[in-house]
Amino acid sequence: MVWHVSEALRAALGDIEAPNRSNWFFRRVIRPVAFYAPFPWPKNGPTLPEFDAVRVAPRVDAAHHAQLEALVTLVERCASTPMEGRPHVAFGPLTHAEWQHWGWRHTDHHLRQFGS
């Protein structure tokens, strides 16, 4: 989870290149539901292969504490970096407020998987 959320934030910030999988359906149908539905995201939803930790994440080991610290730094960077108009891999260009909302929803979704 730490690796997956970190990679998603790196892509949001432009630190790594991410595929553009945005299309009309994701921008106009899935995005409003994902952002504004009054319920948590469902478990086991689809993940882009590039962000699938089971397939490509490095093994979690003694460096886990450093990975957690790096994730906190990424969250802080996303909170303080102007994100207006940056494209999301599935939802297309987002406003700064939408990026902040997505970051919260995405991170919350994964923390809930572990009972946090």
pLDDT 10s digits, 2-25: 888 898 999 999 999 988 889 999
Give the DSSP letter of residue 88.
E
Domain count, the chain: 1
The span from the CA of 110 to the CA of 23, in Å, is 24
How long a stretch of residues is the chain? 116
Residue by residue, pLDDT tens for the chain (116 residues) are: 888 889 899 999 999 998 888 999 999 999 999 889 888 888 877 788 888 877 776 665 656 778 888 999 999 999 999 999 999 999 999 999 999 999 999 999 988 887 65
Tell me the residue range of the domain where 103 lies. 2-113
Measured from the Cβ of residue 85, the count of other Cβ atoms closer than 10 Å reads 11
